[in-house]
């Protein structure tokens, strides 16, 4: 593939565009195109290696360029939002879990589906719980021969 013909910008324009970028990620994207345009790299893999990328990342940036030109390449990366639930729904979920609890991530997933009509994967539920600092609470082991009355008597006599 003759990248020099396909890339419409000149090397000087690419260098100027690269210098204007504040984000390193966007600088690398333009540097990648400049390596292809100048002939420094003859393949996407070689151009990716110039900026420190693997082949898949190089292919993705080339795909952006082919689809939307330089504008698509320079589009800022999406910032992740707060997820699928609103702040009210998150507060409701936290209160529900505080009051009733959940046995596992699948239970939280079912709660989100039933109450909010929002579908999460198990990985998504895990990330949600990590973000909300919700941890599974497991009870301590208890001796099966333990007598509750003797434990209460011991606690009462221990304090005095």
Question: Could you state, in order of their start, the residue ranges of all structural domains in the chain?
Answer: 3-73, 87-131
pLDDT at residue 143 above 70? yes
State the average pLDDT for the chain.
89
Asked if 65 and 7 touch (Cβ cutoff 8 Å), the reply is yes
Q: pLDDT higher for 159 or 94?
A: 94
Looking at residue 142, its pLDDT comes to 83
Looking at residue 152, its pLDDT comes to 87
Mean pLDDT of 90-108: 90
Mean pLDDT of 17-26: 91
Mean pLDDT of 150-158: 86
Report how far residue 100's alpha carbon sits from residue 92's, in angstroms, rounded to the nearest whole number.
Answer: 12
Q: What are the tens digits of pLDDT across the range 46-95?
A: 999 999 999 999 999 999 999 999 999 998 867 666 678 888 999 999 99
Give me the half-sphere count of Cα atoms (radius 13 Å) on the Cβ side of residue 56. 0
Find the angle CA(38)-CA(44)-CA(47) to the nearest 5 degrees: 50
Mean pLDDT of 108-115: 93
DSSP sequence for 50-118: HHT--HHHHHHHHHHHHHHHHHHHTSPPPPP-S-SS-HHHHHHHHHHHHHH--SSHHHHHHHHHHHH--
Mean pLDDT of 11-33: 93
């Amino acid at each position: 593939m003759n990248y020099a013909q396909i890339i419409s910008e000149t090397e000087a324009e690419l260098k100027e565009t690269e210098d204007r970028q504040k984000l390193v990620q966007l600088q690398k994207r333009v540097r990648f195109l400049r390596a292809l345009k100048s002939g420094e790299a003859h393949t996407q893999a070689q151009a990716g290696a110039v900026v420190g990328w693997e082949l898949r990342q190089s292919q993705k940036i080339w795909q952006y360029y082919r689809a939307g030109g330089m504008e698509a390449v320079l589009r800022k990366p999406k910032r992740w939002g707060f997820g699928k639930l609103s702040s009210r729904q998150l507060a409701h979920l936290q209160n529900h879990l505080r009051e009733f609890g959940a046995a596992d991530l699948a239970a939280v997933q079912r709660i989100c589906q039933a109450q909010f009509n929002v579908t999460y994967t198990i990985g998504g539920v895990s990330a949600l719980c990590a973000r909300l600092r919700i941890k599974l609470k497991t009870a301590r082991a208890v001796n099966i021969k333990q007598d509750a009355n003797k434990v209460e008597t011991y606690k009462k006599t221990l304090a005095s």
